Amino acid sequence: MSEALQAVVTAAETVHDHPWLLAVAGVILLVVLVLRSPAGGACSSRDPRRTFTSAERAQAFARAGMRCEHKSMFWSRCTNTATQGDHIFPWSHGGRTAMSNQQALCAFHNNRKSGSVPTRMYIIRLQRRRRRYFPPEETARIEWRLGAAI
């Protein structure tokens, strides 16, 4: 018997002996699927205002400590200076042009993110990180449409 087939047989025997493992695996899979799903559905109506004002961008840079807010899953926060105000939930998908939907990014990370819709996990992680570096008077809550938050 090949090693791969033996591994499958062993896994099947383990599940047979402990059927609750399937329920645990199902719950874990469900949580992962929800967290990796896009945060919010696209909206056909667009905010009439496309870009942030220079004052809004300056405020976003200041509350982020003048640093890019991007953080990949396994690395620390980007150390580049924030130079661009990004719609967290893209304007092209119905995200509004408001401080609650703006993040400060460096040119590299804003270009890489482009118009992609963030996942729920992205939103949750960004909100959690922001509580550490945002000034106390700034809310870390991300809201891309009125009343629409995660």
Q: Which of 18, 148, 35, 33 has the alpha carbon at shortest distance from 95?
A: 148
Candidates 94, 109, 130, 144; binder of Zn ion (CB under 5 A) is: 109
The type of residue at 88 is I
Under rule CB under 5 A, residue 82 binds Zn ion: no
Closest to Zn ion by CB, 16 or 132? 132
Residue with tokens 């059927």: 19
Under rule CB under 5 A, residue 104 binds Zn ion: no
How many binding residues for Zn ion (CB under 5 A)? 6
What is the rounded CA–CA span in Å between residue 75 and residue 95? 27
What is the rounded CA–CA span in Å between residue 131 and residue 139? 8
Q: Which of the residues 28 through 57 are near Zn ion (CB under 5 A)?
A: none
Under rule CB under 5 A, residue 87 binds Zn ion: no
Where do contacts with Zn ion occur on this chain (CB under 5 A)? 68, 70, 78, 80, 106, 109
